[in-house]
């Protein structure tokens, strides 16, 4: 995105890509449907970034959901919005959009060098390891977009941190990740099963999304939405019947049970499916006489997040206070930064891609303006 803006302003642009091909994480994101952005009121969209909203607001105001949609349509990608407002290309995959985008950059005269890995600076010169040996460049300006620290095989390995002063970065942490749980043998038959129609609570974070029970724990959109609070120590609880008040749950449970097992009673009286009943039996033991509090606020104990390289994204990285309002380094004029390498995080649902595009757009535009006479 930064290259597109710079080339559009008349600059000769070189994209130095560390991997053998560009856009690998974008292509991976498209494997389950490329969620570009989200259709919702802008104040609600901005609020999804939590404490990072203030830092990102100028970029998202300049290039937010509406601009992302227009940009994709301009690349001849038809779009649709799902029932929750998530916006996807009709093709669902990322490859058609990426091919069209690369063709546009080629038409703009942008050069792309693959297997060029940034190795910091030597004075004013930028250093790269390349297939042809070490290279030094001295461009008028540079935009760094080195990614976060998850999915290292796709290029986001966080190795770039070693080229910056320690006081300009904060340690990486996993974001939008699953959590580890040591399930009992009774849960094995539910591995891979979705948990739907629940409300998740972790500190001040809430979610009504579904999640999946996996062999190692829990993962999926509902968990990702509260993962920041969970990672930072908030306990997780589930409301297994979020649309039913506690007194109604208690009244239904008090119906005569007869010879029915507790499992059958829960299924018939509360219409709980087998996965929810399994979670209740797994996490509420020893079972209290009144199950209502557990059904409305079931504690889910875990061993912490899955490894960072298995996370969808990361928190931490290049501090915003190391940059000025244009995303230019305060200590290195002419060098800008964008994307996941910046210190921000957001839930899945179109927020991640939109902010990456927005910061690239912002850095590219301001870099072009910085060189203007």
Q: What is the pLDDT of residues 73-110, one digit of tens each?
A: 999 999 999 988 999 999 999 999 999 999 999 999 99
Last residue of a domain, one of 300, 326, 356: 300
Strands 179-180 and 217-219: antiparallel
- Looking at the structure, tell me whether residues 288 and 329 fall in a common domain: no
CA-nearest of 105, 155, 113, 172 to 315 is 172
Do 98 and 18 fall within a single domain? Answer: yes
Shared domain for 271 and 328, answered yes or no, is no
State the pLDDT at residue 371: 81
* Same domain for 198 and 163: no
Domain of 275? Answer: 179-300
CB contact burial 294-326 (16+ within 10 A = b; e otherwise): bbbebebebeebbebbebbbbbbbbebebbeee
Work out whether strand 298-300 and strand 125-130 pair parallel, antiparallel, or are unpaired: unpaired
CATH number of the structural domain spanning residue 150: 3.50.50.60
* Same-domain status, 296 and 223: yes
Provide the pLDDT for residue 142: 97
pLDDT band at residue 373 using 50, 70 and 90 as cut-offs: low
Give yes or no for residue 134 having a pLDDT over 70. Answer: yes
Q: Are 19 and 161 in the same domain? A: yes
pTM of structure = 0.91
pLDDT, tens only, 152-194: 999 999 999 999 999 999 999 999 999 999 999 999 999 999 9
User: pLDDT per residue over 231-286, tens digit each?
Assistant: 999 999 999 999 999 999 999 999 888 888 999 999 999 999 999 999 999 999 99
Q: Residue 179, Cβ neighbours under 10 Å: how many? A: 24
Count of structural domains within the chain: 2
- Of 276, 300, 324, which closes a domain? 300
Are 111 and 15 within 8 A, CB to CB?
Answer: yes
Based on the domain organization, do 223 and 248 belong to the same domain?
yes
Whether the Cβ atoms of residue 329 and residue 336 lie closer than 8 Å to each other: yes
133 and 275 in a single domain? The answer is no
199 lies in the same domain as 291? yes
């Amino acid at each position: 995105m930064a290259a597109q803006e710079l080339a559009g302003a008349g600059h000769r642009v070189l994209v130095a890509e560390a991997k053998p091909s560009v856009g690998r994480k974008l292509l991976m994101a498209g494997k389950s449907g490329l969620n570009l952005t989200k259709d919702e009121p802008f104040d609600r969209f901005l609020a999804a970034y939590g404490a990072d909203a203030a830092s990102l607001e100028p970029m998202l105001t300049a290039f937010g959901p509406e601009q992302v949609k227009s940009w994709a349509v301009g690349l001849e990608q038809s779009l649709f919005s799902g029932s929750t407002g998530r916006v996807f290309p009709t093709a669902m995959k990322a490859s058609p959009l990426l091919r069209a985008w690369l063709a546009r950059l080629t038409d703009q005269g942008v050069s792309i060098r693959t297997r060029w890995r940034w190795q910091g600076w030597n004075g004013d010169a930028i250093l790269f390891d390349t297939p042809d040996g070490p290279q030094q460049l001295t461009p008028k300006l540079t935009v760094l977009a080195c990614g976060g620290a998850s999915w290292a095989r796709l290029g986001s390995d966080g190795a770039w941190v070693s080229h910056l002063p320690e006081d300009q970065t904060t340690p990486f942490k996993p974001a939008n990740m699953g959590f580890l749980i040591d399930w009992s043998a009774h849960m094995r038959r539910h591995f891979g099963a979705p948990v739907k129609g629940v409300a998740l609570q972790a500190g001040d974070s809430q979610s009504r999304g579904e999640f999946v029970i996996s062999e190692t724990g829990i993962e999926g959109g509902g968990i990702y939405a509260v993962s920041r609070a969970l990672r930072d120590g908030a306990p997780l609880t589930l409301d297994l019947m979020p649309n039913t008040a506690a007194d109604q749950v208690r009244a239904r449970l008090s119906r005569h049970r007869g010879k029915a097992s507790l499992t059958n009673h829960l299924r018939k009286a509360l219409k709980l499916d087998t996965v929810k009943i399994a979670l209740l039996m797994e996490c509420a033991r020893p079972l209290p006489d009144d199950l209502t509090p557990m059904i409305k606020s079931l504690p889910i104990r875990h061993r912490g997040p899955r490894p960072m390289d298995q996370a969808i994204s990361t928190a931490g990285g290049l501090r915003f206070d190391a940059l000025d309002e244009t995303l230019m380094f305060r200590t290195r004029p002419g060098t800008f930064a964008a994307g996941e390498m910046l210190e921000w995080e957001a839930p899945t649902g179109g927020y991640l891609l939109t902010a990456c595009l927005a910061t690239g757009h912002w850095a590219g535009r301001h870099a072009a303006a910085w060189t203007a006479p």
